[in-house]
């Protein structure tokens, strides 16, 4: 499984997504939209705005949070086949 995580250093939800992936030993490539040339444009091209964090799981774009709700632990645990603790 290939996982890309689009982030920015100032983004609290991005840090939470990264902690989730690390906690469950899910290898990923982090792409900072502020320091990686073309990353912000790629994000806008696929999701229509600069909404981060964004996961790309085997080519499928997934938003792992909802504004006002934060990181979607249950949904992401189910997507990755994990038991939530």
**pLDDT of 29-72, one tens digit each?**
999 999 999 999 999 999 999 899 999 999 999 999 998 888 99
CATH architecture of 1-53: 3-Layer(aba) Sandwich (3.40)
Preceding omega of 53 cis (within 30 degrees of 0) = yes
How far, in Å, CA of 14 to CA of 7, rounded?
A: 5
Q: Where are the domains of the chain?
A: 1-53
Contact partners, residue 50, CB within 8 Å, separation at least 6: 33, 40, 43, 44
Q: In a 10 Å sphere around its CB, with 0-12 CB exposed, 13-18 middle and 19+ buried, how is residue 54 labelled?
A: buried
Predicted TM-score (pTM) of the model is 0.90
């Amino acid at each position: 499984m290939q996982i890309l995580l689009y982030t920015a250093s100032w983004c609290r939800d991005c840090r939470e997504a990264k902690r989730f992936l690390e906690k469950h030993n899910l290898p990923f490539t982090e792409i900072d939209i502020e320091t990686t040339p073309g990353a912000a444009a790629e994000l806008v091209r696929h999701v229509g705005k600069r909404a981060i964090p964004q996961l790309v799981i085997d080519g499928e774009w997934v938003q792992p949070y909802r504004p006002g709700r934060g990181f979607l632990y249950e949904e992401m645990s189910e997507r990755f086949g994990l038991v939530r603790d």
